[in-house]
């Protein structure tokens, strides 16, 4: 008796289930909605194709002469509902050292960075490509959290 009730319940359940095929293409959204503000010519909300980069958004919104792009990676792939704020360049920011382009002599001007650490920064950059975030500097041997804290306000990408 118990088995018969279970069998009837399973048949009833099966009849209630919609077995029509699901159109996955219809579920996929091929556009994303992002917002940009700060030092751009046209701040606001934008609809961009899926997998658009930050560079595409910056080109669409336009940057001003006072846009500080040093802390932004233009190759970053945007996600739906991302909010980007482009800061203004300050006098302090203009004096920052780029860890992606600086030579040995320039890197040694940073607090706590001597010639050997500067050489390791350049070697790391040559072996692994450009730094994507300022925090990537801690991947260089000899630069830990405390040394990074000393230099982070003086560096840019």
For 8-36, how does the pLDDT look when each residue is reduced to its tens digit (9 = 90+)? 877 776 677 766 666 655 556 799 999 99
pTM: 0.46
Please answer whether residues 40 and 62 qualify as being in contact, where contact means their C-beta atoms are separated by less than 8 angstroms.
yes
Q: 49: which DSSP letter?
A: E
Q: Which residues pair with 88 in a beta bridge?
A: 67
Q: Between 1.20.1070, 1.10.3470, 3.10.20, 3.30.70, what CATH number should domain 26-90 receive?
A: 3.10.20
Of residues 40 and 14, the one with the higher pLDDT is: 40
Q: Which residues pair with 51 in a beta bridge?
A: none
Please answer whether residues 139 and 124 qualify as being in contact, where contact means their C-beta atoms are separated by less than 8 angstroms.
yes
Q: Which residues make Cβ contacts (< 8 Å) with residue 138, sequence separation at least 6?
A: 144, 145, 148
The domain made up of 96-156 has a fold known as DNA polymerase; domain 1 (1.10.150)
């Amino acid at each position: 008796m118990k088995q018969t009730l279970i069998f009837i319940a399973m048949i009833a359940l099966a009849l209630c289930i919609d077995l029509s095929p699901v159109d996955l293409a219809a579920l996929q959204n091929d556009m994303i909605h992002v917002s940009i503000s700060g030092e751009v010519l046209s701040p606001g909300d934008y609809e961009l194709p899926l997998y658009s980069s930050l560079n595409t958004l910056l080109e669409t919104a336009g940057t001003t002469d006072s846009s500080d792009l040093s802390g932004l990676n233009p190759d970053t792939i945007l996600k739906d509902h991302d909010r980007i704020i482009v800061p203004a360049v300050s006098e302090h920011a203009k004096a920052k050292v780029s860890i992606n382009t600086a030579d040995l002599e320039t890197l040694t001007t940073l607090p706590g960075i001597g010639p050997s650490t500067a050489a390791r920064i350049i070697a790391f950059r040559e072996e692994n490509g450009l730094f994507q975030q300022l925090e990537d500097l801690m991947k260089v041997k000899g630069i830990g959290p405390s040394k990074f804290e000393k230099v982070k306000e003086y560096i840019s990408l």
